[in-house]
Structure 1
Amino acid sequence: MSDHQNLLAEQRRSLILDEVRRRGGVRVNELTRRLNVSDMTIRRDLDALARQGVVEKVHGGAVPLAEASTHEPGFEAKSSRETGAKEEIARAAAQMVAPGAAIALSGGTTTFALARHLVEVPDLTVVTNSVRVADVFYAAQQPGARGATVVLTGGVRTPSDSLVGPVTDQAIRTLHFDVLFLGVHGISVQAGLSTPNLAEAETNRHLVRAARRVVVVADHTKWGTVGLSSFASLDSVDALVTDPGVRAEARAEMAEHLPEVVVAGEPQEPAEG
């Protein structure tokens, strides 16, 4: 299958998932008519979404898979979700980073994608509690090159390969950085930023406090999702970078409650002043 066909499949599955969440379920025959593809194609799409753990197949269609607010998928499981959207977000967020900046990247698969776009930016100082993010920068180091200085916190490893806990929090308390790029489990008007992991919530609170500017990187499926523990309100967020899959009503909420929203791949409004 070509890259073009893969992209179409990913876009189609994103549309299917949106329909499942919006309507509480979908039927195969409705999707074949709406998307103008075969019954077999839709069934393969539902199989793929079921493997990602985001829908449950039922006779004739699919329904949302309800996740407990304490459920935390592993890194590999999260990596398979919304991969195209994460790449778009990473490319847009990378444009916000200037050479020589001191930045922080939290754990998560979107910040991992962002790290891969930042390895060519010279003289960065990168603070992270993500083993995966640190590995990206270490693997890219070239002898004599002006690569990043990476500060990897200690701590206890979570299922998503983040380091959390008192050791992590103490390390972050002593640091200050220009921009924090923050991946989240969920973001909503009522709950703010949230995660299913209590220790990670506390670590994220310290990351937010240590940053002059907080940029949340989150694909459209994160809007309206709520994890067990809230760690910051939307007032703490300076910018959100998301993808074009975000719905019109969600865009309106974002514009109302956030000072800056960047939709990756879409022209941005020029800054005032």
Structure 2
Amino acid sequence: MLARQRQEVILDEIRRTGAVQVHTLVTRLGVSDMTVRRDLDVLAKRGLLEKVHGGATSVIGRSTDEPGFEAKSVRALPEKEAVSARAAGLIRPGTAIGLSAGTTTWTFARFLADIPDLTVVTNSIRVADVLRHAGRSDRTVVLTGGVRTPSDALVGPVAVQSLRSLHLDMVFLGVHGMSDSAGYTTPNLDECETDRALVEAGGRLVVLADHTKWGVVGISTIADLEEADVLVTDEGLPDDAREVLRERVGELVIASVPAVAEADQ
């Protein structure tokens, strides 16, 4: 069994029971104790589980928990890149798009390099910085004003007013969590109002959310599930979540994460 296959088994078990034990996984997977611990290390670094003594548990946070940008930027990175690559294929040259703040949209910004004649509106200093360093003369980047948050998002009445005067073809929204009951959510009340204004400015809403966001609920709802014209996620999304989302979003797009073979020591 390849490392990726083992890790999917581990994640499936955590989703089902909430926790796994190393000695149980050794028996189930038929590998060494060290191999299991290495797999848990990989998944923990990607933010997909929490390591504890003798095993691991699911990642469950409070509705206002918000890890810093640097911590979130390395979580589920292969999934974010796969989602970003698929989402970039939705954009046509000459389009005006909006990008919310966050590590997923920051990753997504790097996939816009080959799309000509774009106008990009964002309240993310990080996203604007990625696009500025690309040095493209055929791209216009509009950075909203506002108060800067710890995650380098610009929020508040200045940002909201700026967005309400704009009309964008598409908006790409990164979220902290998504669920059947709460929709797309954020743990940051200041950012929520700005995100809502960005959503309202767009003709079409594309939500970018890897599978680890399912079942996570932040304190404030940005939009209901039905408001997404397209939801781009990855193949790790559980079957029950796929069923819910196919019924409630305009289009569910599942991105494939390239398999990376990891040799066992």
Please report the TM-score for the alignment, with normalisation by the length of structure 1. 0.87
How far did residue 139 of structure 1 move? 0.3
Distance in 1 of aligned mates of 2:49 and 2:103: 20
How far did residue 51 of structure 1 move? 5.3
How far did residue 12 of structure 1 move? 4.7
- Report the counterpart of residue 13 of structure 2 in structure 1: 19
Q: Evaluate the alpha carbon distance shift between residue 242 and residue 175 of structure 1 in structure 2; reply closer, same or farther with a 3 A threshold.
A: same
Report if aligned partners of 1:208, 1:236 keep a CA contact under 8 Å in 2.
no
Q: Evaluate the alpha carbon distance shift between residue 110 and residue 12 of structure 1 in structure 2; reply closer, same or farther with a 3 A threshold.
A: farther
Report if aligned partners of 1:130, 1:162 keep a CA contact under 8 Å in 2.
yes
**Aligned structure 1 segments of 4 or more residues deviating by more than 6 angstroms:** none
Match of 1:233 among 224, 231, 234: 224
Secondary structure of the residue aligned to 2:204 is strand
- Report the counterpart of residue 141 of structure 2 in structure 1: 150
- Report the counterpart of residue 269 of structure 1 in structure 2: none
Question: Which amino acid counterpart does residue 188 of structure 1 have in structure 2?
Answer: S
Q: Tell me, yes or no, if structure 1 residue 42 matches structure 2 residue 36.
A: yes
Please report the TM-score for the alignment, with normalisation by the length of structure 2. 0.89
- Report the counterpart of residue 187 of structure 2 in structure 1: 196
- Report the counterpart of residue 210 of structure 1 in structure 2: 201
Q: Which structure 2 residues correspond to residues 61-100 of structure 1 after superposition, within 5 A? A: 61-100=55-94
Distance in 2 of aligned mates of 1:95 and 1:245: 20
Match of 2:98 among 98, 104, 108: 104
Q: Evaluate the alpha carbon distance shift between residue 53 and residue 91 of structure 1 in structure 2; reply closer, same or farther with a 3 A threshold.
A: closer
Query: Deviations for 1:68-108, whole angstroms, at most 9, x for unmatched residues?
Result: 11011111111111111111111100000000000001111
Aligned residues: 256
How far did residue 110 of structure 1 move? 1.4
- Which range moved further: 95-104 or 156-165? 156-165
* Structure 2 stretches lacking a partner, 5+ long: 258-265
Distance in 1 of aligned mates of 2:24 and 2:243: 28
Distance in 1 of aligned mates of 2:20 and 2:217: 23
* Structure 1 stretches lacking a partner, 5+ long: 1-7, 267-273
Match of 1:223 among 196, 214, 217: 214
- Which range moved further: 23-32 or 118-127? 23-32
Q: Evaluate the alpha carbon distance shift between residue 71 and residue 62 of structure 1 in structure 2; reply closer, same or farther with a 3 A threshold.
A: same
Aligned-residue CA RMSD (Å): 2.0
Q: Which has the higher contact order (CA 8 A, sep 6+)?
A: 2
Report if aligned partners of 2:45, 2:75 keep a CA contact under 8 Å in 1.
no
- Report the counterpart of residue 271 of structure 1 in structure 2: none
Distance in 2 of aligned mates of 1:31 and 1:250: 25
